Amino acid sequence: MKDCVIVGGGPGGLSAALVLGRARRSVTIIDNNQPRNAVTHASHGFLTRDGIEPAEFRRIAYEEVLAYPSVDHRQADVVDICRQLDGFEIILKTGERVRARKLIIASGLKENFPEIDGLHNFYGKSLFNCPYCDGWEWRDRPIFLLSEEPVLLHMAKLLYNWSQDLVVCTNGKPLLTAEERNMLETKHIQVIETPVVAFEGRNGPLEQIVLADGRRIKRSAGFVIPNWQPKADFSKQLGYAVTERGGIATDAMGRSTISGLYAAGDAANVWPSQLIYAASDGYKTAVTVNHDLSEERFV
């Protein structure tokens, strides 16, 4: 019986493991080594690690975390989680079962992108989803924004800060009112409501976007906003409440609506989806877990 199992080995889960390891708690990290940012050339915005390759970030983090003798790691998929009287049983695809008093779900998000030819050829190279992560590298360049979500207008205002040579694509969706469209166009932001059918370029750099009516718009890079969903959903098995965005509903300290179950990082907050934000949330949630375990020893 472990003190805590952490499902997810991203910045949220690893930060939680570090805190709990230093608190002398027995911890198992379960992760399938398929991070969402694996295609990204560099991660930005994490103080002292700005521009680090995602794989190197994970290598350093695991090296630090696993230096604590009470922390171990299983590389596997979680196929089921069962509640028990004294905690949880986590069932792995390998057939192994791990039991724990407390459970932190920090499995992050998965991205659902529009079906556009060539998108995945450029993603992580010249197509991105986060201006805070990659906007600086494309400052003052001809860029575009594509979104099928209501967040389109907000993201257009943000991206204008990095480049005023901006094209906004709704991919055929009526997302903007006449007033909102006029607001953008007065800033010389071109708004295109025709669907995008393809992205074209050579060896990674984007060259142009192709519209359904045959037009081609030259662009150097773009930001495509996905629809976010939790990477792992155990709500039916465990019965926890979820937020409007699909994350695990928690209180301010990371506790879910199920006793002993916690959530950290993107699995709970969904947005903003940032390394440093997830790591901070993992730290906070681990402090909560350690607090609750400490209190229970004196009941």
Q: How far apart are CA 279 and CA 298, in angstroms?
A: 30
- The pLDDT value recorded for residue 42 is 85
Q: Are residues 167 and 183 in the same domain?
A: yes
Q: Are residues 192 and 286 in the same domain?
A: no
Q: Are residues 276 and 246 in the same domain?
A: yes
- The pLDDT value recorded for residue 271 is 66
Count how many domains the chain has: 2
Q: Are residues 131 and 195 in the same domain?
A: yes
- The pLDDT value recorded for residue 146 is 97
Q: Are residues 43 and 89 in the same domain?
A: yes
Could you tell me what percent of the chain has a pLDDT over 90? Answer: 82
The per-residue pLDDT for range 64-109, each reduced to its tens digit, is 999 999 999 999 999 999 999 999 999 999 999 999 999 999 998 8
Q: Are residues 175 and 267 in the same domain?
A: no
Instruction: Identify the domain containing residue 233 by its residue range.
Output: 2-111+227-296
Q: Are residues 215 and 247 in the same domain?
A: no
Q: How far apart are CA 44 and CA 64, in angstroms?
A: 20
* CATH (domain of 215): 3.50.50.60
CB-based contacts of 44-47 (< 8 A; 24+ apart in sequence): 44/132, 44/133, 44/134, 44/136, 45/132, 45/133, 45/274, 45/275, 45/276, 46/11, 46/275, 46/276, 46/279, 47/276
The per-residue pLDDT for range 240-282, each reduced to its tens digit, is 999 887 889 999 999 999 999 999 998 887 666 788 999 999 9
> What's the Cα-to-Cα distance from 264 to each of 66, 104, 215, 226, 252, rounded to whole Å?
20, 7, 44, 21, 11
Average pLDDT, the chain: 93
